Amino acid sequence: MDDLTIYTAGRAGRITFTRPKALNALTHAMARAIHDALDNWRDDPAVALVIIDAEGDRAFCAGGDIAAVYHAGRAGDHQVGRDFFRDEYRMNAAIADFPKPIVAFMQGFVMGGGVGVGGHASHRIVGDTTRIAMPESGIGLIPDVGGTWLLGRAPGRIGEYLAMTGGRMTAGDAIHAGFADMYIPEADWPGLIAMLEDSGDVTGLRGHPAPAATLDRRDLSAFGGRTLADITAALQEAGDDESLEALRRNSPLSMAAGLAMVRAARGDDCMQQSLSREYRFTARATAESDFLEGVRAQIIDKDRKPVWRRDASDDTLRAMLAPLGDDELQWETAE
């Protein structure tokens, strides 16, 4: 397909995002193609490892291409979104569980759906241009694609902070937060990729000293509050205007749900549990959340003025995260 190149080179399976003008946004077809490629290479003795990279210098993958989900939801068809999220999450799990090394070279923007691809690889390489984020609360969604699993394992209250504010991480912050493994200058990446193709061996990968992190120096104790209201009050008392500005901008329901889901993910034994919980929200998102309004404001009309209507009450949260019965996310194809 034009948006993705999948081939083998030497001992490596290669997956390259090839729509840089769209910041390599992930479509439903791309998610399925990545999963199919991994299935084909899983037991192929000629493929020793997988390399995932992207064309262009602006983005590895800036998120999911959700225009089709938006337009279908506006027309009353909520199955398009459910199908997209289901197949995307199964692909995310296939990356996390792949029995061979997967090396992701993540430059530029790595957001949402891009984290779902690169953030679950076994070897996650970042450079000076890398900016990683889970900004879904700004479009009325929640950190998904296994994002709550990663956020739940970040040190301290970094997970809550990133989920609620959508803050961007540099290379140093991404490594500190557990979203990346090693920093390597981007000028070295072509040579490393050639080495991996030739050898099929990741033992030659060596990270450079990472740029300093900033998240480890921030006082994020306010994000230990039990509720969105508690956190907001603590931030006001602390005078953290930067965080408050983000909380005033983002969807209250999304922030409250993200807060609950990051904390719930800390008790999960595998990423599939986190993904299943995420799917309970996203399967309902086009019909029952502020998602369509958030996408309209941020992506379609781009007026940046969403009108959030859904409340963040305990009753609403319980409804959005309740089991889906026969529609629960199934994992047979991810095994």
Quick one: what percent of the chain has pLDDT higher than 70? Answer: 99
Residue 2, pLDDT score: 85
pLDDT grade, residue 22 (50/70/90)? very high
Indicate if the pLDDT at residue 171 is higher than 60: yes
The mean predicted confidence, pLDDT, of the chain is 96
Residue 333, pLDDT score: 45
Rounded distance between C-alpha atoms, residue 284 and residue 98, angstroms: 29
Indicate if the pLDDT at residue 335 is higher than 60: no
Among 49-58, 61-70, 119-128, the minimum mean pLDDT is found in 61-70
Indicate if the pLDDT at residue 201 is higher than 60: yes
Q: What value does the mean pLDDT take over residues 295-317?
A: 95
Quick one: what percent of the chain has pLDDT higher than 90? Answer: 97
Per-residue model confidence as pLDDT tens digits over 114-138: 999 999 999 999 999 999 999 999 9
Q: Which of 183, 173, 236, 178 has its CA nearest to residue 207?
A: 183
Q: Which residues of 19-32 are buried (b: 16+ CB within 10 A; e: fewer)?
A: beeebbbbbbebbb
Domains in the chain (CATH in brackets) are 4-334 (3.90.226.10)
pLDDT grade, residue 332 (50/70/90)? low
Residue 236, pLDDT score: 97
Whole-model pTM: value is 0.96
Per-residue model confidence as pLDDT tens digits over 83-93: 999 999 999 99
**Sequence-separated (6 or more) residues with CB below 8 Å from residue 166:** 133, 134, 135, 136, 137, 138, 246, 250
**Sequence-separated (6 or more) residues with CB below 8 Å from residue 41:** 8, 13, 47, 50, 100
Q: What value does the mean pLDDT take over residues 141-170?
A: 97
SS3 83: helix
Structure tokens at 279: 């799917």
Residue 157, pLDDT score: 97
Identify the residue whose tokens are 């990051």: 262
Indicate if the pLDDT at residue 334 is higher than 70: no
**Sequence-separated (6 or more) residues with CB below 8 Å from residue 8:** 14, 41, 46, 47
Rounded distance between C-alpha atoms, residue 247 and residue 28, angstroms: 30
Contact status, residue 81 vs residue 72, Cβ threshold 8 Å: yes
